[in-house]
Amino acid sequence: MTPILSIQQLTAGIEEREILKGIDLVVNPGEVHAIMGPNGSGKSTLASVLAGREDYTVTGGSVTFMGKDLLEMAPEERAREGMFLAFQYPIEIPGVSTANFIKTAVGELRKHRGLDPLEPAAFLALMREKMKLVEMDSSFLNRSLNEGFSGGEKKRNEIFQMAMLEPTLAVLDETDSGLDIDALRIVAHGVNALRSPTNATVVITHYQRLLDYIVPDVVHVLWNGRIVRSGDKSLALELEKRGYDWIKNEAAVEA
């Protein structure tokens, strides 16, 4: 089985500071991986590097996505190839409606795959269907993207876009932050509904809470730029109980 994502000895940082110090990670089709870790361990950096944010410099290692060298691709190419990042802080774009934005994005994706744009009526129907998945009112389609949306609405809008773009790999960066329990449940429901044997999800989170709803196959603990421990779902529960300190201490001893 060809993995969807294969990261080997990835090192990266911002300006002179190295943040990722050798990440190894393999994500296979159908899997959900959770990446946990205390603040500052490099979780969001990993998400940003995978999506191709320019502020970060990759200093070593390799990332293969669907058999292709991910690091060679521009951010928009990564997206068109099927990589999706649900942002921790989704951006507001005044004047551009949610519908127009997603229409443009889906149009680019289809063009990349050599497909014609969808008929407007079919596209509208599709948008409405996917909005239901995250319990958003279709009136959001006519509003400027994320402008005046609550924190929960922004996160649901991320999952709505994910549903429209049907990525091969979805990276959810702290999607649970700032969500109340109802919103969390809705977002998780959306993510679960999109799971299939041919795609994969990487859930980045600080808390175990989200993993009650999105059940991971593998849990990794990131500390100080390295994955210091991997295990099944029970690892998340153990972290919840014991906190991150025992991991930090163990890592310090090993180093």
Partner 1 sequence: MNSEQSILDDVVGSEYKYGFTTDIEQELLPPGLNEDVVRFISAKKEEPEWMLEWRLKAFRHWQTMQEPAWPNVSYPKIDFQDIIYWAAPKKKEGPASLDEVDPELLATFEKLGIPLEEQKVLAGVAVDVVLDSVSVKTTFQDKLKELGIIFCPISEALRDHPELVRQYIGSVVPPSDNFYAALNSAVFSDGSFVYIPKGVRCPIELSTYFRINARNTGQFERTLIVADAGSYVSYLEGCTAPQRDENQLHAAVVELVAHERAEIKYSTVQNWFPGDKDGNGGIYNFVTKRGVCEGAHSKISWTQVETGSAITWKYPSVVLKGDHSIGEFYSVAVTNNKQQADTGTKMLHVGKHTRSRIVSKGISAGVSQNSYRGLVKVLKVAEGARNFSQCDSLLIGDACGAHTFPYLEIANATATVEHEATTSKIGEDILFYCNQRGIDTESAVALIVNGYAREVLNQLPMEFAVEAQKLLAISLEGSVG
Select the residue interacting with partner 1 from 90, 190, 216, 225 (CB under 8 A): 90
What letter does residue 15 receive in the DSSP assignment? T
CA-to-CA distance for 143 and 71, rounded, in angstroms?
35
Per-residue binding letters, 232-251, with partner 1 (x by CB under 8 A): --------------------
34 binds partner 1 (CB under 8 A): no
84 binds partner 1 (CB under 8 A): yes
DSSP string, 203-235: EEESSSGGGGTS--SEEEEEETTEEEEEE-HHH
Centre a 10 Å sphere on the Cβ of residue 245 and count the other Cβ atoms it contains: 9
Select the residue interacting with partner 1 from 41, 45, 98, 161 (CB under 8 A): 161
Select the residue interacting with partner 1 from 9, 40, 59, 75 (CB under 8 A): 75
Interacting residues with partner 1 between 36 and 65 (CB under 8 A): 51-55
165 binds partner 1 (CB under 8 A): yes
Which CB, 100 or 138, lies closer to partner 1? 100
Select the residue interacting with partner 1 from 66, 96, 124, 237 (CB under 8 A): 96
124 binds partner 1 (CB under 8 A): no
Write out the two tokens for 194.
Answer: 């999109």
Taking CA atoms, 116 is separated from 46, 74, 106, 111, in Å, by 34, 23, 11, 7
Name the minimum Å distance from CB 33 to partner 1. 20
Which CB, 49 or 235, lies closer to partner 1? 49
CA-to-CA distance for 3 and 155, rounded, in angstroms?
28
149 binds partner 1 (CB under 8 A): no
DSSP string, 127-178: HHHHHHHTT--GGGGGSEETTT--HHHHHHHHHHHHHHH--SEEEEESTTTT
Name the minimum Å distance from CB 97 to partner 1. 7
Nearest alpha-carbon partner for 169 in 204, 133, 208, 206: 204
Which CB, 147 or 212, lies closer to partner 1? 147
CA-to-CA distance for 81 and 66, rounded, in angstroms?
9
Residues that bind partner 1 (CB under 8 A): 51-55, 72, 74-80, 84-85, 87, 90-91, 93-97, 100-102, 104-105, 108-109, 112, 144, 161, 165
